[in-house]
Amino acid sequence: MTLSAIVQQLGFTVFTPLPKEDPEITCGYASDLLSDVLGRAPGGAIWVTLQSHPNVIAVASLLQLAAVVIVGGIMPEETTLARAHEASVTVLSTQLSTFEVVGRLYQMGVRGDAAACLDG
């Protein structure tokens, strides 16, 4: 499933531009602990979190994640969005909870294991 299809089907708010090349999303990661994401999230994953501060962008950029989804209606900070634009990191938002987003992504074929990113 492509990132743009996920955005459309789940009704995510798009805060920064989607990539010109619409990436295929086969894996995801959900965590609010940045060190956990750094140590375990596979490159190319879609990251689901409630964190909205600028350090999220540093982690997403370093790992080359496909997008960051901020849940629970939390709005990203202006500094976060500025850094996301600079680093070309896609930032999305939703009113849905982490649990709901992860469940819906799973139904769409997005898996939580690193092998899913390698296979995709």
Predicted confidence at residue 118, as pLDDT, reads: 67
SS3 106: helix
* Residue 45 token pair: 């994953």
Q: What is the mean pLDDT of residues 104-108?
A: 97
CATH number, domain with residue 21 = 3.40.1390.20
Q: Residues 19, 44: contact at Cβ < 8 Å? A: no
If you average pLDDT over every residue of the chain, what do you get? 94
Predicted confidence at residue 72, as pLDDT, reads: 98
β-sheet bridge partners, residue 27: 111
Predicted confidence at residue 119, as pLDDT, reads: 58
* 18-55 tens-digit pLDDT: 999 999 999 999 999 999 999 999 999 999 999 999 99
| Total number of domains constituting the chain | 1
Residues spanned by the domain of 89:
3-119
